[in-house]
Amino acid sequence: MAEPSIRVLFVEDDEDVRIGCRQALELAGFEVEAFARVEPARARVAPGMPAVVLCDVRLPGASGLEWQRELHALDPELPVILITGHGDIAMAVQAMQEGAYDFIGKPFASDHLVSVVRRAADKRRLALQVRSLREQLEHRQGIEATLIGRSAAMERLRQRVLALAATSADVVIYGETGTGKELVARCLHDHGPRRRAHFVALNCGGLPEHLAETELFGHEAGAFTGAQRTRVGKFEHADGGTLFLDEIESMPMAVQVKLLRALQERSIERIGSNKPIAVDCRVVAASKEDLKALAEQQKFRADLYYRIGVAFIELPPLRERREDIPLLFEHFSLAAQQRFQQSAPPPSHAQTAALMAHTWPGNVRELRNVAERHVLGLAGDDLVAAGQPAGPPPNLPAQLEQVERALIADALRRLQGDAAAAALALGVPKQTFYDKLKRLGLRPENFR
């Protein structure tokens, strides 16, 4: 069945052909408005309408070719299918070069007509979906323009970030690689009272002890070989602002001791100096591992954990908020098109299904890379297969839940959060549908 939201505007002056084609299209599931001339059909057209135009070339009054040019100027993405006689095929080919979607030569079989119209309807639905996503992205403001997503998990995340941003409490952010921990840290800074001061980031992963210490606290000239001039450390540079310590679980134990003291006293000493320097900065730490569990295993200082563990934010992996994937993919695609000065088509049905079914071990970072490959034309038909090995497939119940979540989220998105309409479109009883929404953690209001 075709998408119920896409209707067909059909113009054909031959009454027998008009009746026969209308019946074939309605049997295929399309809503059809039929006209004998272009003039009355004009009033039914508006930019962005969910429709496909099917029009004969030779008509009394305005011709199909003239109307096609009008429609292309009005809405270049509106699919227009021309019906042509044998002598009009050259004109129809010219019309396609000018923006027509396709043409059908007379005589034609009804199944061929339905096939062409269905493809055009799919194209129109995808174009409108992309247009809707772009409008949503353009109208997002504040934290919604940074932490993008309509899922319940993202709504809770934004609320928590805004609540904590107004305070000066130290925060620990937990999340898998690629979930956007630094982005959340920047939101805590940008939406709080420290926004006018520096946001200073330091990745603790792989830093040797002596480098970690000088990066954090700085050093005086002559403090060690090679220290030719005084250097201000990250702590001091972040005075009045925010210090973000990524991968804090990998910080050397000896540096953890000095970090704890700096947090307790809110002052630091540069290497090679005995003079304390007062610092007033908020510390946001990020880890992909449970710091409390590491502390219990004596792999992380317990006193440091309890010192920085004032407030916690846990970022959901992308596989747990699949309904956000189309919006994020469109966001990254638009950014990549601007960056590379290159246009890209919207993903097809098959590509969208692959995006929704993928396990996303690299989370949002991986999705951004996929979007950039798509814009560069490097991904091919299988967007998620290029450039990465396949991870272990989820078990059958997990795969079924992923598919169910994706289908329901897609229906809610297309129907702007109308749960009753989505249940009807999916052929699911209302009560069963609402039970599924509750089980999957989907909220219709997040799709409006």
What's the mean pLDDT in 232-260? 94
Give the CA distances from residue 295 to residues 10, 177, 247, 291, in Å, rounded to whole numbers and listed in that order. Answer: 70, 21, 15, 6
The pLDDT of residue 389 is 46
DSSP letter for each residue of 268-282: E--BT----EE---E
What is the per-residue burial (b if ≥16 Cβ within 10 Å, else e) of 233-256? bbbbbbbebbbbbbbbbbbbeebb
Give the Cα separation of 125 and 29 in Å (integer). Answer: 15
Q: Which residue has the higher pLDDT, 2 or 369?
A: 369
Tens-place pLDDT, residues 70-122: 999 999 999 999 998 766 667 777 788 888 898 898 889 999 999 999 999 98
- Read off the pLDDT band of 228 (50, 70, 90): confident
- Read off the pLDDT band of 414 (50, 70, 90): confident
CB proximity list for 356: less than 8 A, separation 6 or greater: 322, 325, 326, 402, 403, 406, 410
Angle between helical axes of 15-27 and 110-139 (0-180°, round to 10)? 60
CB proximity list for 404: less than 8 A, separation 6 or greater: 436, 440
Residue 244: what residue type?
F
Give the Cα separation of 181 and 288 in Å (integer). Answer: 9
The pLDDT of residue 390 is 44
Least reliable range by pLDDT among 54-58, 95-99, 133-137, 434-438: 133-137
pTM flag (> 0.75): no
Tens-place pLDDT, residues 148-174: 988 889 999 999 999 999 998 999 999
The pLDDT of residue 393 is 54
- Read off the pLDDT band of 185 (50, 70, 90): very high
pLDDT at 287 over 50: yes
Residues in the chain: 448
- Read off the pLDDT band of 139 (50, 70, 90): low
The pLDDT of residue 130 is 75
Residue 442: what residue type?
L
* Percent of the chain clearing pLDDT 70 (strictly above): 92
The pLDDT of residue 245 is 96
pLDDT at 229 over 60: yes
Tens-place pLDDT, residues 316-329: 999 999 889 988 99
The pLDDT of residue 444 is 84
Q: Are 190 and 167 in contact (CB under 8 A)?
A: no
Structure-block tokens of residue 115? 């096939």
* Percent of the chain clearing pLDDT 90 (strictly above): 53
Structure-block tokens of residue 184? 């959340």
Give the Cα separation of 436 and 343 in Å (integer). Answer: 38
**For 101, phi and psi rounded to 5 degrees?**
-75, -45
If you average pLDDT over each of 56-60, 380-384, 439-443, which comes out highest? Answer: 56-60
Tens-place pLDDT, residues 385-396: 654 544 455 566
Q: Are 121 and 9 in contact (CB under 8 A)?
A: no
- Read off the pLDDT band of 378 (50, 70, 90): confident
Q: Which residue has the higher pLDDT, 108 or 128?
A: 108
- 231: β partners: 219
Domains of the chain: 7-138 (3.40.50.2300), 148-316 (3.40.50.300), 319-392 (1.10.8.60), 396-448 (no CATH)
pLDDT at 4 over 50: no
The pLDDT of residue 396 is 67
- Read off the pLDDT band of 303 (50, 70, 90): very high
